Amino acid sequence: MKPVIRIIGVPMDLGQLRRGVDMGPSAIRYAGLDVKLGSLGYQLQDCGNIEVKDWDILSQGDTISYADAITGTCTHTYEAARKAIAEGCFPLFLGGDHSIAIGSIGGITHDSPTGVIWVDAHGDFNIPETSPNGNIHGMPVAVLTGYGLPQLVHLGRPGPKVKPSDIILLGTRNLDFDERSLLKKCGIKIFTMRDIDEHGIGTIARHAIKALHHCNRIHISLDMDIIDPSEAPGVGTKAPGGITYREAHLLMEILSDTGLVKSMDIVEINPILDNHNQTALLAVELIASLLGQRIL
């Protein structure tokens, strides 16, 4: 029996300084998410959006200044994720910038460990002391594994939420200098774009799944900047040289085949920078591929 898909919008743009990703949840819904998932036979529960403090009422500065507001939103996201898993739903989080995953993955892992496949052009393993810009959306992997701002590390429950052996970075192609050293020290498994170029997305997807063989469920955290900007222009941190439209679908299809994917984030869509909602439309198609849509 298919699980109920619980849609949870998290329109937070406080983790970075470029406005627009707060409209991401609306763009994905407008792109026909409900119709697409309904056509696959899923029952949907759209819980609307988690409240986010408005940028304009907060003190200005780098995004470290917004840590309290981010903590508040991520705490509500944590509880929503925890509740969805406890009630047997498949929580689908619509971002918002990638800092929402501090809450979503924290809540997903509250009662039992979960493997995480972090599909992103960036490593998101900065800490305040090494970040070149102070943007918290470049820190969530570090936070989830126990590094960085204590109020975020201990959000929801004390300590790290994911062991390094339980998280895979896939498609990485843009790392900050100090971030490289931290990732090597931490020991997280990384499959870069070079790996994909050399071996193909199918082989790399299967290697990632094998690396999480000890996990009985998997969470996918998908940043749309993983896809080449020529096909997904509506993102704020474009990084040329990403995976193609078809590679993205194949990745989702192979992950779906495992039967282990029980939750998902899809983040960093900025409609202001998009072309006729192209990136949100692609996001809906990728969600559908992860949830069982097939060519035949």
> Which residues are known catalytic residues?
98, 120, 122, 124, 137, 223, 225, 268
Beta bridge partners of 95: 10
H or E element that contains 191: strand 189-192
Separation between Cα atoms, residue 190 and residue 118, nearest integer Å: 9
Separation between Cα atoms, residue 135 and residue 99, nearest integer Å: 9
Q: Name residue, tokens 């971030």.
A: 179
Separation between Cα atoms, residue 30 and residue 24, nearest integer Å: 10
Tokens of 5: 């898909």
Separation between Cα atoms, residue 185 and residue 60, nearest integer Å: 33
Tokens of 236: 């704020």
**Are the CB atoms for 24 and 93 separated by under 8 Å?**
no
